[in-house]
Structure 1
């Protein structure tokens, strides 16, 4: 059933990882060059994997446990991406590489929050189905 609330959360997560890295910058280097999520190979791969997992999870609504596991894997990818961004922006030499941080660094955190909300709704659905099965 695609009309559940977790579908909205997963769709927003897919948008946050698939569309918004093209719109919002990650940071501005000291030379004035603006870096987007699509300028780094690692971020491209992780953003694409996160988007793909969100879309696959949307369409695997008949298998709630599988959907739950896919969301957990997606959260791991987003934590890796967030760690990569923090590592790149917090250089040891201060202003050597990153001059100004952009809103794009926060996109994995937004996606993680949406995935947690989706998993909470999936668990709620699973508990409801189990309680109905007990009555039969």
Structure 2
């Protein structure tokens, strides 16, 4: 049953984390050039990890509990990524490496929202299956 509503949310989160992060700068450097996630191995690794977890979750539609747990792990990974971005933006003193925040710092926030909505839909499906099992 890939045609469920949480599949759309997980796919949007995967595209956001896997593709959009490559084209949207997360900061502007002290020299005025935009900084992309591909320039930082830790950041691109976390973005790609989030995208892979979302894609794996899509295809685990028969194992809803595992899908739910992977969604929570993905949310945690995005919170860690958001924490890295907040740390970088708060340690801007003078003209260090990152001088301005970019729109790419919002990608983890949007991804977290999509993953939370997907987890709510997964939980709703699990509750529906449990209620049908009670009737048998």
TM-score interval, smaller chain: over 0.9
Separation in 2 of the partners of 1:6 and 1:43? 26
Q: CA deviation at 1:132?
A: 0.6
Alpha-carbon RMSD: 1.1
1:44 and 2:39 equivalent? no
Partner deviation per Cα, 1:79-99 (whole Å, 9 max, x = no partner): 111111111122152443322
User: Greater shift after overlay, 91-100 or 73-82?
Assistant: 91-100
| Residue pair 1:25, 1:35 contacting (<8 A) in 2 also | yes
Which residue number corresponds to residue 99 of structure 1? 99
Q: CA deviation at 1:18?
A: 0.2
Gaps of 5+ in 2: none
Separation in 2 of the partners of 1:92 and 1:21? 22
Give every structure 1 segment of 4 or more consecutive aligned residues whose post-TM-superposition deviation is greater than 2 Å: 94-100
Query: Superposition pairs for residues 9-48 of structure 1, below 5 Å?
Result: 9-48=9-48
Per the normalisation by structure 2, the TM-score is 0.95
| Residue pair 1:91, 1:97 contacting (<8 A) in 2 also | no
Which residue number corresponds to residue 74 of structure 2? 74
Q: CA deviation at 1:100?
A: 2.2
Separation in 2 of the partners of 1:109 and 1:92? 21
Separation in 2 of the partners of 1:95 and 1:130? 57
Report how many residues are paired.
136
| Residue pair 1:25, 1:102 contacting (<8 A) in 2 also | yes
Partner deviation per Cα, 1:68-120 (whole Å, 9 max, x = no partner): 00001101110111111111122152443322211100101111000000000
Per the normalisation by structure 1, the TM-score is 0.95
Partner deviation per Cα, 1:33-77 (whole Å, 9 max, x = no partner): 210111101101101110110000000000000000000110111
| Residue pair 2:64, 2:126 contacting (<8 A) in 1 also | yes
